[in-house]
Amino acid sequence: MNISVIIVVRNGEKYLSEAINSVLNQTYQPQEIIVIDGKSSDKTPDIAKSYQNVRYILQKSKGLANARNTGIDNARGDLIAFLDHDDRWCENKLSLQLNEFINDPQIEYSYGQVELFLESGHELRRGFPEKLLKEVQQGRTPGTLIMKKSLWERIGKFNPEFTIGCDTEWFTRVKDYHIPHSFIPQTLLYKRIHHTNLSHNVELNRQELLTIVKQSLDRQRLFKFL
């Protein structure tokens, strides 16, 4: 099975190399690494293009969901994995998850655990529970996700109507459809917390979560009548 890795970035010159290197240092090497650049104004394009094994694509549309969808449309692999430019993987992330698909051909996606860490010189936003930095979390986030490309045809891609919650909406959708999957109880992703995280927009995040919950409830009611 071939794996395509999609890294989305906008003005990420400070962290992008660390993210790319965490992919290049995997014990199982992907077929390709695709960097989707949301029209950065810093040195992001130069950094991405400096890697021989990286395919650089300038995003034409706007938003995080469309960035990931652009990567999906351009991916050549049977499996697709995602990594944000400011995060990094554990070195055996891809090999652990590839084994899940080999051992059980019925599963269509796999995810694992995540550890959060605070960027040096940054402070936690108000209301962020500090205890989350000390606990391993269940990582229902694209950074731990690897999935069959064919799943997009059944479930659909990330919804661009959501600015922040497109990840949560997608995971909620596959859960509602009861898609066969595996969960790996090991840390696969180290997620950086800093001032420019999209999730710092608390009010928008709350509004989108309420919409996601309503859509999920509507979907579940519909399924009961089918």
Domains recognised in the chain with CATH numbers: 3-160+180-196 (3.90.550.10)
Q: What is the pLDDT of residue 224?
A: 62
Tell me how far apart the alpha carbons of residues 109 and 101 are, in angstroms, rounded to a whole number.
8
Q: Is 167 exposed, middle or buried (0-12, 13-18, 19+ CB in 10 A)?
A: buried
pTM: 0.86
One pLDDT digit (tens) per residue for the chain, 226 residues? 899 999 999 999 999 999 999 999 999 999 999 999 999 999 999 999 999 999 999 999 999 999 999 999 999 999 999 999 999 999 999 999 999 999 999 999 999 999 988 766 555 565 555 555 667 888 889 999 999 999 988 899 999 998 888 999 999 999 999 999 999 999 999 998 866 554 556 676 678 778 877 777 777 766 665 5
Tokens of 187: 């840390």
The phi and psi torsions of 51 (rounded to 5 degrees) equal -95, 125
Distances (CA, A) of 90 to 159, 179, 210, 219: 28, 26, 33, 35
If we measure between CA atoms, which residue out of 136, 149, 148 comes closest to residue 189? Answer: 136
